[in-house]
Every structure is written in structure tokens, then in C-alpha cells.
């Protein structure tokens, strides 16, 4: 979450005339994430999240994202529901941007991850995959492997000379070539979250109380979602890999949904790909920062360090799985 577009009092009051939420009592920007503008909205009927969808967001994807939230919540998963307007619309407009008001969920994300959080994460990820298995709308992964080389090239075209070391450029080019040649094609697919970082899952009284931010969700390999989570949750601040957290995450997932042998065998490769994907998107955002935005771009080097570790992982034994 982030803030790129501000909302005036007049814009907010006009927006709320379309809803049965009462008048606004407060509206504060949320300075996290990278994609859209988000606000904590306190109205007479309660607390909500107001999201303005920025120019990078394809408006045609919004029915998928908002429909998925509603579908998951209706199937008992801890997803927030979009709030419908008086006319039944979940997509409206504010400050010249497409907008939605989303249910506010209690709980908080964790700053210090312990192994039991990874167990709960794995269980929740598997529940999400199962709850979304009959969601009828499809959305291809816009950040799949086919997009990585164009993204890398577009990042380089916008960089200052010397922004990235030549050795790093060569390293990424070699890794891209390897993944393009070896990426799997025959794994189970379905709807994935694709961005389930620690700030996108809430805990309350030692349980998961909410999973949020579905704006990278898409159809792709289910195991790729596991790989994204392994990378995001199981490395320590010094870039060392915590095998106990990885084992807890995978076993938590397997307690809800069985993982095939092919998926397990593919995890090391999928983790490499997931690390490269987040390195590349962070690199692009680092180089192409939006002036005046209430957002802090994330350093891509974090994921380059993870990628360097993952290139040496050949089997799932590195994740504590026999």
C-alpha cells in the first residue's frame, strides 16, 4: 500500500454520497507498498480501507481482484470484502481515479517472524488456493517469466550510467537465460496471491485474522506462490536462510493441501524465479521513483542476495523436507 494521489475533503464527501457508510470522520494515508494509493477511512458506519487505483493498474483487472476478494470471503477465507455502493457497484471513482472501499480487518502484521507464524502462513496459503479453486474469472500472470527480460531491459533504459555494476548486469542476464530454458510447464495451476509478504497477512490471538492486497493475484503455478512465501518469510535480516521456518511453512501448507512430487521437485527452481521477479520489479521501482509519492521504494539488492543463495539449492532438503 502507498499514497500517490491525495483525496480532498470535497472528493471524499462526494464519494461517500454513493455509499451507505455515513459521513467521513477521518481519512489517513497508508505509506506502505508500491502500487496504489490507500487510506484508512473512518466513517460513521465503521473503519474501511479506501483504495485509489493508479495509472499502472489496468482497470480491466479490477473485476478479477475485487471479485476474488468477495469469492474468498464467501467461501470462509479471511479476505476483506469490497463494499458495494448504493447501486451495487464495488468500483467507483474518487480524485479522478477508479476507487473501491474495502472492509477493514482486525489484526496486525508481524515484524519478528517466528516458525509458528510460518506454519499459520502455510495453512492460510493452502486454504486460499482451495477456496479460489472454483473462481470463474481468469487472469494470466502479468509478471510471469515471459515478462522478466523486457522488465530488465526497460529498467536499464531508464537508469543513470553506472547505477548498476556491469558484473551484476551479467549475473542477471545469465540467470534470466537459465530460467528461460528450465522453467517448468506441467505443474498444478490455480489462483495465486503472488504477493503474500508479511505486511499482507494479519494475526490476532495467535491466529490468522486476515489476508489482504490481492492486486498481484493471478492464475499461475500454485507452487510458485509457495516459493514467493519461502523467499519472503524464511530469510533472516542478514540474508541467511532459516530452514526451520521453511519446513514449518511447507508442512503447514501440506496439512491443508497435498503437494505433488513434481511441485516439491520444482520448488528450488521456482524460488530462484520468484527471487529474480522481485529483484526486477524492485529494480524498476528503485530507478523510476515517483516524485512526491508517500512511498519508500524497496532496495532490490535484498533479493539479489537471496537469489545468490538460491542458485546453490539443488533439492528440497535445503527446506528441511526429505
Q: Choose one of 83, 103, 123: the last residue of a domain.
A: 103
Beta strands 218-221 and 207-211 are: unpaired
Cα separation, 100 vs 15, whole angstroms: 10
Please, which residues bridge with residue 139 across strands?
Answer: none
- Same domain, residue pair 151 and 277: yes
- Same domain, residue pair 136 and 211: yes
- Same domain, residue pair 60 and 136: no
Percent of the chain with pLDDT over 70: 93
pTM of the predicted protein model: 0.93
- Same domain, residue pair 120 and 241: yes
Cα separation, 255 vs 244, whole angstroms: 16
In terms of C-beta density within 10 A (0-12 exposed, 13-18 middle, 19 or more buried), how is residue 274 classed? buried
Output the pLDDT for position 294: 52
| Statement: residue 140 has pLDDT above 70 | yes
- Same domain, residue pair 190 and 54: no
Per-chain mean pLDDT for the chain: 92
HSE of 68 in the Cβ direction (CA atoms, 13 Å)?
Answer: 25
- Same domain, residue pair 131 and 49: no
Cα separation, 234 vs 196, whole angstroms: 13
| Statement: residue 289 has pLDDT above 80 | no
- Same domain, residue pair 97 and 119: no
* Sequence-ordered alpha helix ranges (H) in the chain: 9-16, 62-74, 115-131, 145-157, 166-182, 222-233, 243-254, 261-287, 301-310
Contact 259, 223 (CB under 8 A): yes
- Same domain, residue pair 288 and 168: yes
Specify if 3 maps to a domain.
no
Percent of the chain with pLDDT over 90: 80
Specify if 108 maps to a domain.
no
Output the pLDDT for position 161: 43
Domain span at residue 226 reads 115-319
Output the pLDDT for position 138: 97
Specify if 258 maps to a domain.
yes
Cα separation, 121 vs 69, whole angstroms: 18
- Same domain, residue pair 193 and 264: yes
Specify if 1 maps to a domain.
no
- Same domain, residue pair 202 and 235: yes
Q: In degrees rounded to 5, what are phi and psi of residue 31?
A: -95, 60
CATH number at residue 176: 3.90.1200.10
**Count of C-beta atoms within a 10 Å radius of residue 76:** 9
- Same domain, residue pair 292 and 227: yes
Lowest mean pLDDT among 63-77, 181-195, 237-251, 297-311: 297-311
Name which residue leads in pLDDT, 192 or 5. Answer: 192
- Same domain, residue pair 136 and 178: yes
Contact 316, 267 (CB under 8 A): yes
- What does the angle CA 58 – CA 56 – CA 130 come to, to the nearest 5 degrees? 55
CATH number at residue 89: 3.30.200.20
Summarize the confidence of residues 124-146 as an average pLDDT.
97
Cα separation, 224 vs 119, whole angstroms: 17
Q: Choose one of 50, 71, 103: the last residue of a domain.
A: 103
Task: Count how many domains the chain has.
Answer: 2
Output the pLDDT for position 278: 97
Contact 119, 248 (CB under 8 A): yes
pLDDT tens digit sequence for 239-260: 999 999 999 999 999 999 999 9
Specify if 288 maps to a domain.
yes
Specify if 4 maps to a domain.
no
| Statement: residue 1 has pLDDT above 50 | no
pLDDT tens digit sequence for 155-187: 887 555 456 788 888 999 999 999 999 999 999
Confidence category of residue 286, pLDDT binned at 50, 70, 90: confident
Residue 203 in grid coordinates: 494475526
Contact 120, 252 (CB under 8 A): yes
Amino acid at each position: 500500500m502507498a499514497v500517490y494521489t491525495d483525496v480532498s475533503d470535497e472528493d471524499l464527501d462526494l464519494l461517500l454520497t454513493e455509499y451507505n457508510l455515513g459521513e467521513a470522520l477521518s481519512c489517513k494515508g497508508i505509506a506502505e507498498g508500491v502500487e496504489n494509493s490507500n487510506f484508512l477511512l473512518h466513517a460513521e458506519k465503521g473503519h474501511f480501507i479506501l483504495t485509489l487505483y493508479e495509472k499502472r493498474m489496468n482497470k480491466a483487472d479490477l473485476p478479477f481482484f475485487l471479485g476474488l476478494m468477495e469469492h474468498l470471503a464467501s467461501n470462509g477465507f479471511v479476505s476483506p470484502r469490497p463494499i458495494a455502493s448504493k447501486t451495487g457497484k464495488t468500483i467507483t471513482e474518487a480524485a479522478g481515479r477508479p476507487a473501491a472501499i474495502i472492509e477493514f480487518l482486525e489484526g496486525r502484521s508481524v515484524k519478528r517472524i517466528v516458525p509458528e507464524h510460518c506454519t499459520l502462513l502455510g495453512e492460510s496459503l493452502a486454504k486460499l488456493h482451495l477456496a479460489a479453486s472454483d473462481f470463474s474469472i481468469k487472469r494470466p500472470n502479468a509478471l510471469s517469466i515471459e515478462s522478466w527480460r523486457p522488465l530488465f531491459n526497460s529498467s536499464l533504459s531508464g537508469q543513470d550510467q553506472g547505477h548498476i555494476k556491469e558484473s551484476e548486469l551479467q549475473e542477471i542476464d545469465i540467470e534470466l537465460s537459465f530460467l528461460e530454458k528450465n522453467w517448468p510447464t506441467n505443474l498444478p495451476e490455480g489462483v495465486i496471491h503472488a504477493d503474500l509478504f508479511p505486511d499482507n497477512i494479519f494475526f490476532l490471538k495467535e491466529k490468522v485474522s486476515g489476508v489482504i492486497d490481492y492486486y498481484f493475484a493471478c492464475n499461475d503455478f500454485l507452487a510458485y506462490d509457495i516459493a514467493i512465501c519461502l523467499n519472503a518469510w524464511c530469510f533472516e535480516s542478514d540474508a541467511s536462510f532459516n530452514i526451520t521456518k521453511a519446513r514449518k511453512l511447507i508442512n503447514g501448507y501440506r496439512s491443508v493441501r497435498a503437494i505433488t512430487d513434481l511441485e516439491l521437485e520444482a520448488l528450488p527452481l521456482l524460488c530462484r524465479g520468484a527471487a529474480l521477479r522481485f529483484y526486477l520489479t524492485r529494480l524498476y521501482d528503485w530507478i523510476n521513483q515517483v516524485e512526491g509519492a508517500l512511498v519508500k521504494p524497496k532496495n532490490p539488492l535484498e533479493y539479489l542476495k537471496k537469489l545468490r543463495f538460491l542458485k546453490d539449492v539443488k533439492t528440497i532438503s535445503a527446506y528441511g523436507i526429505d
